[in-house]
Amino acid sequence: MGGKAVASRTLRDIDVNKYKAIIFVGGRGSEQYFNDSEALAIAKNAYEKGKIVGAICIAPVILANSGILEGKKATVSPGNENILKEKGAIYENKSVIKDGNVITACGPQAAKGFGKEIADSLK
């Protein structure tokens, strides 16, 4: 906890065809991607190609804003439920939810279950 990572790629560098999954992490700073056209396009493109698309903490808002949560069960960190509902998601107060190829989790306490669900989905 409290570590730092240096990105080796920008959003412009991402070709979803090269990945089996696209995962958005939440926490401080992820809000800048809520309406970022490149982040939204990556989420939507990956979803449309049948890739696993995941988001944890507040990052499911990115998925909602991309349009891919419409009609899907999803969760998000407390206080952000209405954003998902406004975008057509079926909000459920659960730790981790998988609906089709979309996986969402509600926060840091759900990280282990979120990771397991992603790993199981990639088998």
Q: What's the confidence (pLDDT) of residue 28?
A: 80
What local confidence, expressed as pLDDT, does residue 1 receive?
Answer: 55
State both tokens at 57: 């903490």
pTM for the predicted model, two decimal places: 0.93
Instruction: List per-residue pLDDT tens for the chain, 123 residues long.
Output: 567 778 888 889 999 999 999 999 998 889 999 999 999 999 999 999 999 999 999 999 999 999 999 999 999 999 999 999 999 999 999 999 999 999 999 999 999 999 999 999 998
Looking at the chain, the number of H-run helices and the number of E-run strands are 4, 6
Dist. CA 33–CA 49, nearest whole Å: 21
Of 117, 123, 120, the closest CA to residue 54 belongs to: 117
Domains and CATH numbers, the chain: 20-121 (3.40.50.880)
What does the pLDDT read at residue 4?
75
